[in-house]
Structure 1
């Protein structure tokens, strides 16, 4: 359902991957409808209660449907990969028992965390699923640390595999700029911390700093979202310092980032945030949420500032820190690029690690 997961699956050379993509589309009933949209690709729409109610029953129905479908098509499986622990993990554990094969589970910090918090009565079952999995793979170090405590497994039991983006080669940025960029799909502006970021921009001006700084908000989205963000800017009296640029072609993102002073995105409950990696590959520092996103991969003092996403004052401190030390941070990022410290985020490295996990699980 996401380009990142599609890239990961397509990177598994030497394996036949049969994908069942499951989406809840209704609140009542127990209907299941499937669409075979490509070879070995099945999109499933199913009805179930919202907010995780009746979760076990719904996942058991899906497991039964998938098992019957595999048998009907004469497919013998060797391994099951659950995309999310708290939902697909239930399906995977049932199918693994049905077919006598191992399974592994990915952990997506925000999505899995949300379901975990909503269903404390299922914590014991999820711990059993995690204990029986051949491997657990989190998208970031903070998620591995957090879920190791929640699942009661040692931290080393959870591997870390970055989300696969489309940028392969890093480049350095040597420009000095007063332009700060915030890049995201505008439909998600409430979660991207834009309200706090605009307030932080205004507070830096009020404190007598950053007189020439400009915040460019970049990204597409529905007309309603444009109107809502524009209203935020107007209400804050920030039109002189903050502007909406709209979407840019994918081929222009690297150039846009490389010509900027920094990427600022104090998003809330961010699982990974590929745009942070894109910014680092473009050679510019990042302001990102502490305890979320890419936190734990690299020292914040080498790449920018890890802020408290809900605190405009701390975001303002981060803006001042990065803008004041812009050139030093860009040189630090260039050095990290030269040292190969960003190589783990490259698609070929992620693909290699993923294939190793699959091979080890099958073996």
Structure 2
């Protein structure tokens, strides 16, 4: 039997002993494919160097300080580099050089290195892969990667080289892939569209006669999740005498709670319900009329697929989140997140057409399209792409 491929992942979004509260998407992808691949994680965390070092950095190339330690999945580290894009390329090249030394000390050389973002980890991974003559791959995370492409045109040549050299690319969403290829062109490497996995991917039959609209987000993210836009949309519906209930699930500090209460003040149909556990969230989704979350920016938004599998039609922001996955599906309503009237219209449509939308969603639950958002298909596609790229 052939030896299992060893994949080295470089990710700033992997829960580790330095920061356990990171998103679990990359860890889930690793866990889902651990039955057919060996994985080693280099989990990276950035911290600012002393302010006094900035002048030295301008004059000369200050060596990169890296504090590394082992953890359950491999190696976690803190590298010292400035935020806000200062010396972005230089420090990531230096991180790539550190990766070269790290890999040379490993008992076994990886068959593939994958950087889990084009504009960050990808720069370091390409540097290391070229030095070691190991193939590499990328994941494309729309929020971070498209933001850098928009704000840093000076990095275009570098990022184009990173993209073109990748043997496999995993965009988490169609809109992100379009945003990248529109700026950098279509690369020759294999592209595997990869929805983010969730443990809440077993379909629940939609319930008739829902109890109103539902949104779910941590209150710390209320601005990004566009609570103000939702409140203004409800206000528009109130003026026309059509004021639906909007229940919002999500915890936060007392200060964050106060900020959100101020935003929804005077809108009695909006209720902040506080934190709930995952089973309670799923039950609330099953009982609602439609899910609404017109985020300003969203790489994928697992909560949308969790709502769909709970039998709940969704209102999502066009141009981000799950945009591109559900074109032509009536139960997924796109809105202009910056336009309260667009959000209000979708809210009203979801309420008026509840039975029709839920019937279409019930049919979708049994389709091949739905299967691509469930863990077995996600794991199979991820593993196949990695094995292909590893040669």
Query: Under TM normalisation by the shorter chain, which class is it?
Result: over 0.9
Farther off after superposition, 16-25 or 60-69:
60-69
- Please say if 1:272 is aligned against 2:262: no
Q: CA deviation at 1:157?
A: 5.6
Q: CA deviation at 1:223?
A: 2.2
Q: CA deviation at 1:100?
A: 0.8
Q: Distance in 1 between matches of 2:346 and 2:129?
A: 47
Q: Does the residue aligned with 1:104 lie in a helix, a strand or coil? A: strand
Residue in 2 aligned with 1:254?
A: 282
TM-score (ref. length: structure 1): 0.94
Q: CA deviation at 1:71?
A: 2.2
CA 188–27 in structure 1, closer or farther in 2 if over 3 Å, else same: farther
Q: Distance in 1 between matches of 2:144 and 2:251?
A: 23
CA 174–221 in structure 1, closer or farther in 2 if over 3 Å, else same: same
- Whether the 8 Å CA contact 2:167–2:189 is kept in 1: the answer is no
* Pick aligned residue for 1:32 from 57, 63, 66: 66
Q: Does the residue aligned with 2:44 lie in a helix, a strand or coil? A: strand
Q: CA deviation at 1:360?
A: 0.6
Please give the per-residue CA displacement for 1:225-252, whole angstroms capped at 9, x wherever unaligned: 1111011111xx11x2111101111122
- Please say if 1:232 is aligned against 2:232: no
Farther off after superposition, 93-102 or 271-280:
93-102
Please give the per-residue CA displacement for 1:313-360, whole angstroms capped at 9, x wherever unaligned: 110011111111011100000011122321111011100000000111
* Pick aligned residue for 2:232 from 173, 188, 199: 199
RMSD: 1.6
Please give the per-residue CA displacement for 1:204-243, whole angstroms capped at 9, x wherever unaligned: 0111223xx2111101222221111011111xx11x2111
* Pick aligned residue for 1:8 from 8, 11, 29: 29
Q: CA deviation at 1:50?
A: 1.3
- Whether the 8 Å CA contact 2:114–2:137 is kept in 1: the answer is yes
Count residues in correspondence: 357
Residue in 1 aligned with 2:331?
A: 303
Q: Distance in 2 between matches of 1:352 and 1:74?
A: 27
Q: Distance in 2 between matches of 1:303 and 1:265?
A: 14
Larger helix proportion of the pair: 1
- Whether the 8 Å CA contact 2:211–2:287 is kept in 1: the answer is no
CA 245–43 in structure 1, closer or farther in 2 if over 3 Å, else same: same
* Pick aligned residue for 1:96 from 112, 115, 129: 129
Q: Structure 1: which 5+ residue stretches go unaligned?
A: none
Q: Distance in 2 between matches of 1:75 and 1:95?
A: 16
Q: Distance in 2 between matches of 1:55 and 1:315?
A: 37
CA 25–157 in structure 1, closer or farther in 2 if over 3 Å, else same: same
Farther off after superposition, 200-209 or 299-308:
299-308
- Please say if 1:49 is aligned against 2:77: no
Q: Structure 2: which 5+ residue stretches go unaligned?
A: 1-13, 15-22, 54-63
- Whether the 8 Å CA contact 2:308–2:314 is kept in 1: the answer is yes
Residue in 2 aligned with 1:342?
A: 370
